[in-house]
Amino acid sequence: MFVDDKFFCGLAIDDVIKNSLVAGMELTEAELSDLLAISGQNAMFNKALVYILRAPRTETEIRRFLSRKKDCSTEMTTRIIERLKTMNYLNDEAYAKMFAATKHVKMSIRAIKHKLKTKGIADEYTTAATEDVGEQDDLAKTVAEKYLRYREYDEKNLQRLFRYLVSKGFEYDTVTAIIADYRNKREINPEAREQFNTQFDEYRRAREQLRQAKTEARQKKRKFKTLKKKLAGEYQ
């Protein structure tokens, strides 16, 4: 949009039609001020839209994003959010369902609820989204197996595992059952644990030998480069 042959602001075609703008028409200062505000809001809306298109966002995340823009007032933020909702770019209920459905294979239900809360999702949406998620016993067992992969099944490590699983948000009953299962394995099959310990000791020795070999190789490489430079200098 140009005023007196000078660029004034940019407007979307919808705003041009809505305000019945045509070339050569006269506008008051108040009308120009309103059009300038519309232009600024459109620019801020486009920034918010790009932010959403990079990854799904919640209403709270959009509010935080716009609050960092110095030219975006609280009133403008509210209008932009309502526009995003109308266009279905912003939907906290749908976001909560999508998040729970994709994250439950990696995160506990409690962790999912906590994460959604930090994103500003209402409790009712969080509860509804996590109700359809099934039992997470298998996930808890997988996490426990990774934790104990190179550790003894002794009481000290099992207590640490208990605290670790609880900190990850798994239910108390689930964690207790897993710990009991590992205690049974330790008591029923001590020979397997002894074999594991032997192999693990061999693994640690081999890893240390490899580390030493790499260190020696680096040292020899440095000596070789030094000698190479020295020889090159003698033949110049």
Amino acid at 17: I
> Of 102, 101, 93, 90, nearest to 123 (Cα)?
93
Convert the pLDDT of each residue in 127-153 to its tens digit.
888 886 666 777 888 888 888 888 888
Whole-model pTM: value is: 0.55
Helix axes 29-54, 74-86, angle to 10 degrees: 60
CA geometry: angle 154, 189, 138, nearest 5 deg = 70
- Rounded Cα distance between 11 and 2, Å, is 11
The 10 Å Cβ neighbour count of residue 9 is 16
Convert the pLDDT of each residue in 50-102 to its tens digit.
999 999 999 999 999 999 988 888 888 998 999 899 999 999 999 999 998 88
Convert the pLDDT of each residue in 23-52 to its tens digit.
656 656 666 556 556 666 788 888 899 999
Structural domains of the chain ordered from first start: 2-90 (1.10.10.10), 91-134 (1.10.10)
